[in-house]
C-alpha cells in the first residue's frame, strides 16, 4: 500500500496564505505587462485572475489530499481492520467528505464571484466583490480546521502501518518473544531485520521475502504472545490481524532453553492450532541443546531443526 505517498496536511491558514500569495504574484506579473482596455476592464482582469489563482491553489491542494489518501472501503480486509483499530474510522471518513464538500463549495463561490465582477460597473465595486470572495473562501477553509487535524493524525498512523503485500503467499513465524523468530527470518530470507536482545522489545512487524524460481513468499516475524485482542499493544494487534487475514502457513518456533516455560509455549501452540492453518514446527537454538532433549521432544512433536529442510517444506506447501 502506498501509505507513504499521503501528503502532509497543514493547518487552514497555510492553504490561505499560499493561495493569496500566489494570487498577488500573478497579479503583479499581469500589471508588468501592458493590459488593454479601460481602467474598469483592467481592474476586472486582475481580480478575475486573482480569484482563479486562489481557487486553483486551494482546490489543487485539497484534491491532492483526497487523491493520495487511501479509500478505506477499497483496502484489503487486513488494512480495513487495521484502520478500524488504529484510527477514528468514522471521523476520518467524515473529514474526507468535508474536504470534498469544501472543494465543491469553493468552486461554486468562485463561479458566482467571477460572474458578479464581470457584471460590475466600477472598480470600487470590483474590489468590494473580491474582498467578499476572500472572506467567504477563508470561512470555508477555516471550517476545515478539525477535519484537517483529523486527517493529519490519520496520515501519521497510516505511515506507521506495516508495508505488507496482501496478494503474496504469506508465512507467519510465531512463538514467544526472544526465542529466535527474528534470527530464523534472517536465515530463511537473507534479509537482516532488527533484532533485539531482550524480550518484549519488538517495535514492528519484521517482513522479508524468499524468492525461489517463480515463487515469492512473504515472511512475517510476528511479535507478542497472542493474548486477548483487547489487551494487545498495537504491534501485536497488527500481527494478530495478519494471522487472521493474510497467512497461508505458520512456522511455530519452540525454544527448549526455556526463556519462557515450555508449558506456556505448548499452550500457545494449542491456541495457534485453533486457526486451522497449515503449521510447521521448528526447534530453535539446537546448537546449545543436548541431543537427548531434542530426541525426547521429537517423540511428542514432528519438528524440523534444519533451515534447508524448513525452506523445502515451506516451498512445497506454498506451491501446493
Instruction: Read off the pLDDT of residues 90-107 as tens digits, 9 standing for 90 and up.
Output: 999 999 999 999 999 999
Residue 17 domain-assigned (yes or no) = yes
Task: Order across the sheet with 206-212: list the strands.
Answer: 206-212, 215-221, 170-174, 249-254, 279-283, 303-304
pLDDT for 214 beyond 90 = no
> pTM for the complete prediction?
0.81
Q: Which three cell numbers stand for residue 201?
A: 522489545
**Interval 113-124: pLDDT, tens:** 999 999 998 889
Same domain, 8 and 32: yes
Residues in the chain, overall count: 320
Same domain, 35 and 104: yes
Same domain, 202 and 88: no
Q: How far is CA 310 from the centre of its chain?
A: 32
203: confidence class by pLDDT, cuts 50, 70, 90: low
DSSP 179-208: SSHHHHHHHHH-------SSTT---S-EEE
Same domain, 131 and 197: no
Examine the fold and report which residue of 126, 159, 192 is the final residue of a domain before the chain moves on: 159
Q: Which residues contact 28 (CB under 8 A, 6 or more apart)?
A: none
Three-state SS at 41 = helix
Residue 165 domain-assigned (yes or no) = no
Residue 233 domain-assigned (yes or no) = yes
First to last CA, the chain: 27
27: confidence class by pLDDT, cuts 50, 70, 90: confident
190: confidence class by pLDDT, cuts 50, 70, 90: confident
Same domain, 174 and 155: no
Q: Which CATH number is 254's domain given?
A: 3.40.50.300
Same domain, 113 and 191: no
Domain assignment of residue 81, given as a range: 3-159
Total number of domains in the chain? 2
Same domain, 191 and 148: no
pLDDT for 201 beyond 50 = no
Same domain, 186 and 291: yes
Mean pLDDT of 76-98: 93
- String of b and e for 143-158 (b: at least 16 CB within 10 Å)? ebeebbebbbbbbebb
Phi, psi values for residue 237, rounded to 5°: -65, -40
Examine the fold and report which residue of 159, 190, 208 is the final residue of a domain before the chain moves on: 159
Q: Which three cell numbers stand for residue 241?
A: 490481524
Same domain, 81 and 174: no
Amino acid at each position: 500500500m502506498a501509505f507513504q505517498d499521503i501528503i502532509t496536511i497543514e493547518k487552514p491558514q497555510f492553504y490561505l496564505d499560499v493561495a493569496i500569495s500566489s494570487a498577488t504574484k500573478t497579479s503583479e506579473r499581469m500589471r508588468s505587462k501592458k493590459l488593454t482596455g479601460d481602467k474598469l476592464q483592467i481592474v476586472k482582469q486582475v481580480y478575475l485572475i486573482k480569484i482563479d489563482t486562489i481557487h486553483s491553489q486551494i482546490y489543487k491542494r485539497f484534491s491532492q489530499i483526497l487523491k493520495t489518501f487511501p479509500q478505506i472501503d477499497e483496502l484489503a480486509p487486513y488494512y480495513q481492520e487495521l484502520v478500524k483499530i488504529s484510527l477514528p474510522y468514522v471521523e476520518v471518513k467524515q473529514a474526507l467528505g468535508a474536504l470534498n464538500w469544501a472543494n465543491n463549495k469553493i468552486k461554486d463561490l468562485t463561479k458566482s464571484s467571477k460572474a458578479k465582477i464581470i457584471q460590475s460597473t466600477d472598480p470600487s465595486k470590483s474590489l468590494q466583490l473580491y474582498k467578499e470572495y476572500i472572506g467567504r473562501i477563508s470561512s470555508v477553509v477555516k471550517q476545515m480546521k478539525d477535519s484537517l487535524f483529523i486527517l493529519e493524525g490519520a496520515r501519521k498512523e497510516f505511515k506507521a502501518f506495516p508495508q505488507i503485500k496482501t496478494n503474496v503467499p504469506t508465512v507467519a513465524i510465531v512463538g514467544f518473544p526472544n526465542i529466535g523468530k527474528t534470527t530464523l527470518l534472517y536465515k530463511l530470507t537473507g534479509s537482516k531485520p532488527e533484532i533485539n536482545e531482550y524480550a518484549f522489545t519488538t517495535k514492528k512487524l519484521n517482513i522479508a521475502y524468499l524468492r525461489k524460481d517463480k515463487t515469492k513468499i512473504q515472511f512475517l516475524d510476528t511479535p507478542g504472545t497472542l493474548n486477548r485482542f483487547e489487551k494487545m499493544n498495537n504491534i501485536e494487534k497488527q500481527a494478530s490481524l495478519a494471522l487472521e487475514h493474510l497467512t497461508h502457513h505458520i512456522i511455530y518456533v519452540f525454544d527448549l532453553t526455556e526463556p519462557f516455560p515450555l508449558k506456556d509455549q505448548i499452550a500457545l501452540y494449542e491456541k495457534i492450532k485453533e486457526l486451522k492453518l497449515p503449521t510447521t514446527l521448528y526447534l530453535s537454538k539446537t546448537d546449545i541443546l543436548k541431543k537427548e532433549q531434542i530426541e525426547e521432544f521429537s517423540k511428542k512433536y514432528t519438528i524440523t531443526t534444519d533451515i534447508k529442510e524448513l525452506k523445502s517444506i515451506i516451498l512445497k506447501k506454498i506451491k501446493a
